Structure 1
Amino acid sequence: MWHAPVASRRLRALCPVPGSKSESNRALVLAALADAPSRLTGLLAARDTELMIAALRGLGVGIDEPAADDEPVVWVRPPLRFAAADAGIDCGLAGTVMRFVPPVAALAPGSTRFFGDERASERPMAPLLDGLGQLGVRIDADRLPFVMDAPEHLSGPSVCIDASDSSQFISALLLAAPRFTSGIELVHRGASVPSLPHIAMTVEMLRSRGVEVDDSQPGRWRVKPGAIRAKDQRIEPDLTNAAVFLAAGVLSRGEVRVPGWPAHTVQPGASIVDILGRMGAEASLDADGLTARACGELQGAAIDLHEASELTPVVAALAVFANGDTTISGVAHIRGHETDRLQAIENELSSIGCRVRQTADGLVIEGSGAGGAGLEPTRTLRTYADHRLAHLAALIGLVVPGIELDDIGAVSKTMPDFTTRWDRMLEQTEGTAR
């Protein structure tokens, strides 16, 4: 249990955030597949990256322990030949691990077992496993847990899957494709692919390592076989994790600055800048970072989060304290994330008296205004083992007194020291030194 603190004064805080989970785990996979050792700086230290490191080690990759300092440096040494993981691969509840690692394991002839947390079997996997099957990998199930049996040489290059449930199915196959016997010609068939910026991140990181990727046709990706050049990389701050701190500054009617915000990025979390502006707040970038501040009361808005669905819980929290209705659309696929996020958000916001309903692809939230008029204090909100639901509850607790979280440990997935960072933020208010 964690008692969410109330923001009794306007925040005026500097809030550094750890490295991007999406970039960290892509960088680890590409370093494991590269033609020489790589150095990764600023790698996220959290459960998802720990699981990825353990998984790659199980396949024969050499990875140093991250240094315990403010800017960890990790060396990754690719193996001459990948080996099947005798002890199996624990994916936890991490989408990047359960989806990015099987294509790497397809390069390790023999059998590897994949398993995870209790809820891991609820996360979609079938399209990715079908794609690997088209390359000649035998798999005994269409979700976790499963055993895959990789051949000596993969077939290909043609693969056709339905990636409408997750962009990670595409990214997973693209990351390992240069090491496939014939590369890959990957085609998506189905409804639109969500979170396309995450695929753009994958393509950009591949190209920066000398890989030829043709994505000129929508829904089709061609990757030529060949070496992945080793590259030392500095990981960007996680902009989706940053969003909860920026939102806190706005809800306190103060401001929060996140240092190190990149001037150019493909991270979907950067969409929070536009979203804050559309809801009546302000976000400005300068050499010192990105600052979000309140500019009067928040206003409800129609927001399509198809490209940045991880922001849904933070946007939902802002919507609770806006004037008028907020419609969040384009996020039907988050019903298959760590939990059914749409149902969870509806459940928990309804429990404090907020009027909210699900639509086919999102939520409609009736705002209660800046002070949360009519909302019921002293409630326990559930996190569903989902770090983003913990962020939602923490933001609600800034305004509504007496909010408790049933399991703050959910934040270990991407920010184990979240409560320390949150408390440090709340110590910085108007009249205190930055």
Structure 2
Amino acid sequence: MTVIDIPGSKSVTARALFLAAAAEGTTTLLRPLHSDDSEGFAEGLKALGYAVRQEPGAWHIEGRPAGPGVAEADVYCRDGATTARFLPALAAAGHGTFRFDASAQMRRRPLGPLTTALRELGVRLTHGEQEGHHPLTVHAAGVKGGALTLDAGLSSQYLTALLMLGPLTAEGLDITVTDLVSEPYVEITLAMMRAFGAEITRADGADGRTRTYSVAPTGYRACTYAIEPDASTSSYFFAAAALVPGAEVTVPGLGTGALQGDLAFVDVLRRMGAEVEITDRATTVRSTGRLNGLTVNMRDISDTMPTLAALAPFAEGPVRIEDVANTRVKECDRLDACAENLRRLGIDVATGPDWIEIRPGTPAGPVEIATHGDHRIVMSFAVTALRTPGITFDDPGCVRKTFPDFHPVFARFSQAL
């Protein structure tokens, strides 16, 4: 059995940084993720005047409930979607002029649902170039609160940003959601907000199609918060263990009490034939020497769609992944990127607006994977490479976004299988 320590969750680290910055007192984050995304978030907080002290294994953030500690700032969000979407909401609760920009990749990703909602709350903001995209300037004067309606069908991050803003408003916030993707990420948000002292209730609409989140204007309280391992990153190691006959891997720190919905990826592997054991302290996946085809809805765990797509050729039947339209507006169009690279490997693939179907085959190298600068494409096809000699990547370094040491760690892991 191989035991592997996975870096801290990107999603949990980003939320924890926001909550710590907004809280009364000094928060200590244990085992935060060290990656380009999380470092970019921390640098953004520093630019906004928050005190962030980073030590190995622990980050200390002095909260400012009144908002940024400067009256004017320029924040570069790099490639980070959480940075680019969460920090403008945090800044809006303060007072000053705050300019946000991001990489060309992040500039292409939509911001409109969030900025439209902020405008409905009375926040004055302007887009520097294309409406609904970065660059963005927030002219902050605090947020009164109130009620709004949000379509979160493209990304749950819009809802998360507004939920986390709620306790910082003067009167609280009622958010009615008409569509929602990646709902488990919202559950992460709610659990973490409550850990920092927030009060949130949810009411489902009589029509069964809407829900309303009511957030009280409580503010936040500082705490010591431990970051659990990243479930999305764990998916590559779990998939590898399911693929290689006789392999077994255990990830400590991810168990029955884990916040992250992407741990449900192991249920997909179980349906395909792998053995899965989840305890309160760890999750283990074992190969049974075979993988079945299946049809699976991955709307709630869409970040693991590329992992399954890269594993799918080795199944004994077709693998069809449905309801993942939102993966087209990630770091790249992940549906098309997966299809493109699988076809390069000689695999029969079909796609639609929100689905991909991969038929069994033997991937053939040598092939250079077109990563499109997307960390998840690289890490997913590293799984394919376990059974396909000659796979290389046109931009292997883009894994720095979430897991800078991925390549040496995965190489040592694969040798131990």
TM-score of the superposition, structure 1-length normalised? 0.90
SS in 1 for 2:321: strand
* Divergent runs of 4+, >6 A: none
**Match of residue 56, structure 1, among 36, 45, 56:** 45
Who is 2:353 aligned against? 360
Unmatched segments (≥5 aa) in structure 1: 1-11, 430-434
Output the CA distance in 1 between the equivalents of 2:200 and 2:152.
18
Who is 1:146 aligned against? 136
Output the CA distance in 1 between the equivalents of 2:350 and 2:80.
28
Output the CA distance in 2 between the equivalents of 1:14 and 1:428.
10
Q: Which amino acid aligns with 1:155?
A: K
Return 288-297 or 277-286, whichever deviates more.
288-297
Deviations 1:51-86 (A, max 9, x none): 11011111221110232xxxx011110136424574
Who is 1:278 aligned against? 271
Does the CA contact (< 8 Å) of 2:255 and 2:279 recur in 1? no
State the 1:424 CA deviation.
Answer: 1.7
Does the CA contact (< 8 Å) of 1:33 and 1:176 recur in 2? no
Are 2:74 and 1:88 equivalent residues in the alignment? yes
Does the CA contact (< 8 Å) of 2:171 and 2:217 recur in 1? yes
Who is 2:162 aligned against? 173
**Match of residue 404, structure 1, among 385, 392, 405:** 392
Output the CA distance in 2 between the equivalents of 1:428 and 1:296.
17
Does the CA contact (< 8 Å) of 2:371 and 2:395 recur in 1? yes
Q: How many residues align?
A: 406
Does the CA contact (< 8 Å) of 2:307 and 2:381 recur in 1? no
Are 2:110 and 1:124 equivalent residues in the alignment? yes
Are 2:83 and 1:97 equivalent residues in the alignment? yes
State the 1:133 CA deviation.
Answer: 0.7
TM-score of the superposition, structure 2-length normalised? 0.94
Q: Which amino acid aligns with 1:426?
A: S
Deviations 1:334-366 (A, max 9, x none): 100011111111111111111111122120110
**Bigger relative contact order (CA 8 A; separation at least 6):** 1
Deviations 1:125-177 (A, max 9, x none): 100001111111122222111212112x3233112222111011000011121
Identity of aligned residues (%): 33
Who is 2:335 aligned against? 342
Who is 2:239 aligned against? 247
Output the CA distance in 1 between the equivalents of 2:306 and 2:279.
27
Q: Which amino acid aligns with 2:81?
A: G
> CA RMSD for the aligned pairs?
1.5
**Match of residue 193, structure 1, among 166, 176, 180:** 180
State the 1:196 CA deviation.
Answer: 0.4
Q: Which amino acid aligns with 1:169?
A: Y
| Alignment CA distance shift 1:224-1:14 (3 Å) | same
**Match of residue 379, structure 2, among 385, 391, 414:** 391
Output the CA distance in 2 between the equivalents of 1:80 and 1:332.
37
Who is 1:18 aligned against? 7
Does the CA contact (< 8 Å) of 2:342 and 2:349 recur in 1? yes
State the 1:87 CA deviation.
Answer: 4.3
SS in 2 for 1:44: coil
Are 2:237 and 1:237 equivalent residues in the alignment? no
| Alignment CA distance shift 1:170-1:422 (3 Å) | same
Who is 1:9 aligned against? none
Does the CA contact (< 8 Å) of 1:83 and 1:109 recur in 2? no
Output the CA distance in 1 between the equivalents of 2:46 and 2:64.
10
Deviations 1:191-248 (A, max 9, x none): x311001001111111122211011325211101122111211111111101101111
Q: Which amino acid aligns with 1:131?
A: A
Who is 2:298 aligned against? 305
Return 137-146 or 407-416, whichever deviates more.
137-146
| Alignment CA distance shift 1:282-1:136 (3 Å) | same
Who is 1:39 aligned against? 28
Does the CA contact (< 8 Å) of 1:58 and 1:85 recur in 2? no
Output the CA distance in 2 between the equivalents of 1:391 and 1:268.
19
